[in-house]
Homo-oligomer: A and B are copies of this chain.
Amino acid sequence: MTSETRDTRPFAVLDDTLMESWPTMSEDDRLEVFQSMTRGDASELFLTLDPADQEALITPLPANEQRVWLRLLPAEDAADLIQQLDDQEERAALLALLDHRMRPEVEALLAYQDDEAGGLMSPSYAWMRPDMTVAQALAYLRLQSADRVSMIYYAYVLDNSQRLLGVVSFRDLMAAAATRRVEEVMLHDPVSVLEDTDQEAVARTLQESGLLAVPVVDDEGHIKGIITLDDVIDVVQDEATEDIQKIGGLEALDLPYWRTSFFEMLRKRGGWLALLFLSEMLTATAMGFFQTEIEQAVILAVFVPLVISSGGNSGSQASTLIIRAMALEEVRLRDWFRVVRREVVIGLGLGAGLCVIGFARISLWEFLFGSYGSHYLALAATVALSLIGVVTWGTLSGSALPMVLRKVGFDPANASAPFVATLCDVTGLVIYFSIAKVLLLPSLGVQ
Interface residues of A in 278-308 (CB under 8 A from B): 278, 280-281, 283-284, 287-288, 291, 294-295, 298-299, 301-306, 308
Interface residues of A in 184-210 (CB under 8 A from B): 187, 189-191, 203, 207-210
The smallest beta-carbon distance between A194 and chain B, in angstroms, is 15
In the complex, per-residue mask of A400-425: 1 if CB is within 8 Å of any chain B CB, else 0: 00000000000000000110011001
A256-B330, A269-B317, A354-B273 known; A305 and B302 CB under 8 Å? no
Contact B167–A11 (Cβ < 8 Å) = yes
A6-B210, A280-B305 known; A175 and B230 CB under 8 Å? no
Contact B309–A298 (Cβ < 8 Å) = no
Answer whether residue A158 sits at the interface, using C-beta atoms and an 8 A cutoff: no
The smallest beta-carbon distance between A331 and chain B, in angstroms, is 6
Pick from B11, B265, B418: contact of A190, CB under 8 Å: B11
Pick from B212, B272, B322, B325: contact of A256, CB under 8 Å: B325
Answer whether residue A28 sits at the interface, using C-beta atoms and an 8 A cutoff: no
Alpha-carbon separation in the docked complex, A244 to B429 (Å) = 28
The smallest beta-carbon distance between A267 and chain B, in angstroms, is 10
Copies of the protein in its oligomer: 2
Residues of B within 8 A of A312 (CB): 418, 421
Residues of B within 8 A of A280 (CB): 305-306, 309-310
Residues of B within 8 A of A174 (CB): 141-142, 145, 152
Residues of B within 8 A of A306 (CB): 277, 280-281, 283-284
Contact B291–A1 (Cβ < 8 Å) = no
Interface majority SS on A: helix, strand, loop or mixed? helix
Answer whether residue A353 sits at the interface, using C-beta atoms and an 8 A cutoff: yes
Contact A298–B302 (Cβ < 8 Å) = no
A170-B153, A304-B304, A310-B280 known; A250 and B320 CB under 8 Å? yes
Interface residues of A in 62-80 (CB under 8 A from B): none
Pick from B142, B190, B191, B301: contact of A287, CB under 8 Å: B301
Contact A248–B317 (Cβ < 8 Å) = yes
Residues of B within 8 A of A234 (CB): 207
A320-B248, A324-B244 known; A425 and B265 CB under 8 Å? no
Contact B421–A2 (Cβ < 8 Å) = no
Answer whether residue A93 sits at the interface, using C-beta atoms and an 8 A cutoff: no
In the complex, per-residue mask of A222-254: 1 if CB is within 8 Å of any chain B CB, else 0: 000000011011101100110111011110010
Answer whether residue A211 sits at the interface, using C-beta atoms and an 8 A cutoff: yes
Interface residues of A in 290-349 (CB under 8 A from B): 291, 294-295, 298-299, 301-306, 308-310, 312-314, 316-317, 319-325, 328-332, 335, 338, 342, 345-346, 349
Answer whether residue A274 sits at the interface, using C-beta atoms and an 8 A cutoff: yes
A10-B209, A262-B345, A350-B266 known; A317 and B233 CB under 8 Å? no
**Nearest residue, chain B, Cβ from A335:** B24
Contact B310–A277 (Cβ < 8 Å) = yes
In the complex, per-residue mask of A407-447: 1 if CB is within 8 Å of any chain B CB, else 0: 00000000001100110010001000000000000000000
A232-B233, A422-B309 known; A325 and B257 CB under 8 Å? yes
The smallest beta-carbon distance between A340 and chain B, in angstroms, is 13
The smallest beta-carbon distance between A2 and chain B, in angstroms, is 7
Pick from B171, B288, B308: contact of A7, CB under 8 Å: B171
Interface residues of A in 12-30 (CB under 8 A from B): 12-13, 19-20, 23-24
Contact B324–A245 (Cβ < 8 Å) = yes
A174-B142, A245-B324, A291-B299 known; A308 and B310 CB under 8 Å? no
Top 5 A-B residue pairs of the complex, sorted by shortest distance between their CB atoms: A248-B320, A240-B240, A283-B305, A11-B187, A301-B301
The smallest beta-carbon distance between A12 and chain B, in angstroms, is 8
Contact A1–B207 (Cβ < 8 Å) = yes
Pick from B171, B236, B371: contact of A288, CB under 8 Å: B371
